[in-house]
Structure 1
Amino acid sequence: MNFHIIPPPTTAQPQPMAYPKPPKPSQKFGLQEFARISGVKSLKLQSWQIRGAMKFAPIGTGNERLYTLWDAIHAAVILEMTKVGLCITADGADLSKSLAGYVRVHLMKHGHLDGLRPVVLWWDKGDLLMNLDPQQIERSGSYIVFGLREVATGVIARYVPG
């Protein structure tokens, strides 16, 4: 399966919205905190790691794996993919990394979630196409819209201490 990203047309700057400002993702945390922040049960996270949906470098026997905000956003994206029935291994693992990477690049570039566009996915002749502007879709047939800003907002709200 090939992935293609169709860039959005150039538009005016988005107006600021009331989303939490993301913290610097330097803090690392264990599995239980990772589960709480990502919104995914710890057994499900472990299953995804074993199945290859989330790939991490080996840490050795007896060592606790530590996770970051980026890992939690990635896990939340995978959860959204499972809700709409997308595969999360093989090509699906690449897709989840791409979607989470889109959020990461936006946060690193802008420092906030304002203007983070939904991503639209649809299939065309065996290829999965991604578009960053849902209004640009003029296709008959099915497509999926991922509200990544809402997914990331939920993770960040659980990450930031109360």
Structure 2
Amino acid sequence: MARIALFPGSFDPFTKGHEDIVLRGLNLFDQIIIGIGRNANKQRYFPLDDMVRFIEQTFRDYPSVSVLPYDGLTANVAREAGAKFLLRGLRNTTDFEYENSISQVNRYVYEDVETVFLITSPHLAPISSSIIRDLHRYGKNVDAFVPYKLDQ
């Protein structure tokens, strides 16, 4: 049976830190589905269709990585996709506090799912999507932080 992991997030944008988690996750899982969750309460900065294209381009040489935009509960999406694992990256203890609570709720919704946390590689830990959005919004080049080319 294939070990399938769902790597959920808003990925607004998908960063080199996210890429690192996926690449390292491939050592643990047979397939990784990058799930881009839609949040009706939040306005995306980068269009969803663009982000799907950028992520697919980033992993074009990795047939075991796919991208899935979704609505609804992450745990339900994992179940429907046949994923028994949720893959998450942790940059710091604040991330852990937040992710720990979410992982408990995901287990409540889908009791067969396990959340696997990978610690972010140290040189990538300062990178966050919100910082990248702010830099980009004010015309700064963000190529050092994302694994694809964004228009300025």
Report the TM-score range of the alignment, normalised by the length of the smaller protein.
under 0.3
Q: TM-score, normalised by structure 1?
A: 0.26
Greater Rg over alpha carbons, structure: 1
Higher RCO (CA < 8 A, seq sep 6+): 1
